[in-house]
Amino acid sequence: MSKLFLVPTPIGNLEDITLRALRILKEEADLVVAEDTRKTGQLLKHYGINKPMAAFHQHNEHRMLQQLVGRIAAGECMALVTDAGTPAISDPGFLLVRACITANIEVECLPGPTAFVPALVNSGLPADRFVFEGFLPHKKGRQKRITAIAQQPYTIILYESPHRLIKTLVQLSEVLGSSRKVSVARELTKIYEENIRGTLEEVITFYKNKEIKGEIVIVVEGKNIQKDDEQLED
Q: Residues in the site for ligand SAM, rule: CB under 6 A?
A: 11-12, 82, 84-86, 89-91, 114-116, 159-161, 185, 187-190, 215-217
| Sequence-ordered strand ranges (E) for the chain | 3-6, 31-34, 53-55, 77-81, 107-109, 130-135, 155-160, 181-186, 194-199, 216-220
User: Is residue 156 helix, strand or coil?
Assistant: strand
Report the relative pairing of strands 53-55 and 216-220 from DSSP bridges. unpaired
Q: Residue 124 or 153: which CB sits closer to ligand SAM?
A: 124
What minimum distance in Å lies between the beta carbon of 111 and ligand SAM? 11
What minimum distance in Å lies between the beta carbon of 179 and ligand SAM? 24
Q: Residue 94 or 231: which CB sits closer to ligand SAM?
A: 94
List, as one string, the DSSP characters of 42-83.
Answer: HHHHHTT----EEE--TTTHHHHHHHHHHHHHTT-EEEEE-S
Q: Residue 24 or 88: which CB sits closer to ligand SAM?
A: 88
What minimum distance in Å lies between the beta carbon of 183 and ligand SAM? 12
Q: Residue 118 or 222: which CB sits closer to ligand SAM?
A: 118
CA–CA distance, 106 with 186 (Å, rounded to integer): 35
What minimum distance in Å lies between the beta carbon of 116 and ligand SAM? 6
CA-angle at 42, arms to 37 and 43, nearest 5°: 95
Tell me the residue number closest to ligand SAM, measured at CB: 85
What minimum distance in Å lies between the beta carbon of 185 and ligand SAM? 5
Q: Residue 105 or 165: which CB sits closer to ligand SAM?
A: 165
User: Is residue 33 helix, strand or coil?
Assistant: strand
